[in-house]
Amino acid sequence: MNIKNKTILVTGAGSGIGKELVLALLKKGAKIAAVDIHEDALQELQKSVGGKGDRLATYVVDISDKVAVEKLPKDVIAKQGDVDAIINNAGIIQPFVRVNDLDFDAINRVMNINFFGTLYMVKAFLPFLLTRPEAHIVNVSSMGGFLPVPGQSVYGASKAAVKLLTEGLYAELKETNVRVSVVFPGATQTNITKNSGIDMPKPAESDSQKPAIQMLPASEAARLIIEGMEKNKLQIFLGKDSKLMNFLYRLNPVFATNLIAQKMKSLLPK
């Protein structure tokens, strides 16, 4: 996809990967519809873009609200003329507990934002994208969407649903003008834990002596996503850990699952 002069919508645009996507896309000459549930974050984003502010419009929307999402395409088109791509980046994690200890309020919140929020956005915008000469849907899944991560099992299930939804869309839309990509971030420097209202558990003392996982900067994650869009890639893996675990899980699912389980063991309640 040619980014320049395209109108691209980004969810979760107020921070982390979403904010970096907005900044990078503006540099490439795109017009941006920035969506976030946090109005203050969108205000800070507007301030940070400087002279490019005329190509940025912000929308305070809860993507888990189906009615609000269904109104969004007309609002964006009325304000910005058209929409050529959507990047469904917004998402949250669950508390670091086993499924047996996870209450249904937390389960529903994760599924409603991560899966249904993505689905609502796709259903709302796809009819409009199909009318454009060139269009793109990018859905952000997770390394946890193809590899089970103990303590994030429901989060992983929501992201696995995003993975298969996106790959199904790819197959369904092959003969159309709409290209489709699914993104699998590994460990990335974002504030998803804070935005999810989750306290990050402290590792066991023995684990604290081990080298920390090298996290991918959010700006690099954004660059790789945009590069994948430009190349019309179906699968976009972010970070060495995501690429490695994808390889290991395909090669030996049991070994890869046990490896992750061992790494997560110290973060889970006894």
Active site residues: 155
Q: Which amino acid makes up residue 217?
A: P
What the block records as the tokens of 26 is 């503006």
Question: CA torsion sign, 158 to 128 to 25 to 226?
Answer: positive
Q: How far does Cα 169 stand from its chain's mean position?
A: 16
Best CA proximity match to 158, nearest among 130, 196, 191: 196
114 DSSP assignment: I
CB 179 within 8 A of CB 135: yes
Name residue, tokens 């003008």. 177
* Cα distance between residue 73 and residue 121, in whole Å: 9
Q: What are phi and psi of 64, to 5 degrees?
A: -85, 0
* Cα distance between residue 50 and residue 58, in whole Å: 14
Best CA proximity match to 166, nearest among 186, 147, 152, 180: 180
